[in-house]
Amino acid sequence: MRVARPIVLDPEQRRLLEQQSRARSLPARLVERARIVLRAADGCQDKAIAAELGIMPEKAARWRNRFLSGGILALQKDAPRPGRPRTVAPVKVTEIVDKTTQEKPPAATHWSTRTMAAAVGVSEATVRRIWHAHGLKPHLMKTFKVSNDPQFAEKLEAIVGLYLNSRACDRVDVKSQIQALDRTQPGLPLKERSLRGR
Q: How far apart are the first and last CA of the chain?
A: 96
pLDDT value at position 88? 86
DSSP 26: S
Percent of the chain with pLDDT over 90: 41
pLDDT value at position 167? 62
Q: What is the mean pLDDT of residues 187-195?
A: 68
pLDDT in tens, 71-124: 888 888 887 777 777 778 889 999 999 998 888 888 888 899 999 999 999 999
pLDDT in tens, 167-186: 655 555 555 666 556 667 77
pLDDT in tens, 20-66: 999 889 899 999 999 999 999 999 999 999 999 999 999 999 999 99
pLDDT value at position 130? 93
Judge whether 4 and 46 are in contact, CB under 8 Å. yes
- Choose from 35-39, 137-141, 154-158 the range with maximum mean pLDDT: 35-39
For residues 99, 104, 105 and 108, what is the CA-based torsion angle, rounded to 10 degrees?
150
- The full set of domain ranges for the chain reads 11-75, 90-140
pLDDT in tens, 66-79: 999 888 888 888 87
Single pTM value for the model: 0.44
HEC assignment per residue over 120-150: HCCCHHHHHHHHHHHCCCHHHCCCCCCCCCC
Vertex 42: Cα angle to 40 and 47 (nearest 5): 45
pLDDT value at position 196? 52
Give 197's Cβ-side CA count (13 Å radius): 5
